[in-house]
Amino acid sequence: MAGREFLEADSPQQMLILERFKHMELIQKTLSELPEADQNLCNHGSYFLAANSGLCGLAANNFFRKILHVRRASIVSALPMAVIPFISTTVVYEVFLRHPLFSGEINCEVCAVVRGGLIGAVVGGFYPILMALPVNASLAARYSSSPLPGKENLVRFWLTVAQPVFRKMSLGIVVQALTGLYLAAKHHGIYFKVLERISTAGRDPEELQA
């Protein structure tokens, strides 16, 4: 197939990509015209949820260390428990909520809010706790800080260890879910402001970009 025929065959797909690119560019340009408070919340709001996720990771790590009597490698265990949940929450929120919202893939407020709550609860709350369990289990095995069971009682033992930690961290999970709901609602509100400005302008993307 010649190059010209290839371009013509893909022209509908290229037109769709071009239209989506123009739509995103228009939204970003209009977003830059909003008040600075809205811009900061839109661009950096997810960092607050991510910071709470890091705190949940540190708290869960501390609870597991006390239960398993781990006294060594405090920095080695604390550093990843703060950094990895922070990065994971930021990336997941960006990929599954903020980017789809401001690219026009999500228009339903309920869908955005529910997605934000799930990201906050699962990625920002449950994930740091689940991550802290194997980290401290490996430390307990390495330094023999607690007697570990055999394979036949392994699942029951770790369920017993994790139960009080999840109970103590339940409030943190709820807070993370509510924070995710709040951020998603605010981001959808900002997106609605952007659409209102575009609608009020009543012009094509080429005119607004001029």
Percent of the chain past pLDDT 70, that is, above it, reads 85
According to the model, what pLDDT value does residue 202 have?
A: 61
Question: Alpha-carbon distance 17 to 34, whole Å?
Answer: 26
Stretch 183-191: mean pLDDT, rounded?
A: 93
Question: Alpha-carbon distance 122 to 173, whole Å?
Answer: 8
Q: Would the pLDDT of 5 be above 80? A: no
Domain layout of the chain by residue ranges: 42-208
The average confidence (pLDDT) of the chain is 85
pLDDT in tens, 12-30: 666 656 666 676 777 778 8
Question: Alpha-carbon distance 161 to 177, whole Å?
Answer: 24
| Cβ(58)–Cβ(117) below 8 Å | no
Stretch 90-107: mean pLDDT, rounded?
A: 90
According to the model, what pLDDT value does residue 3 have?
A: 44
pLDDT in tens, 106-124: 888 899 999 999 999 999 9
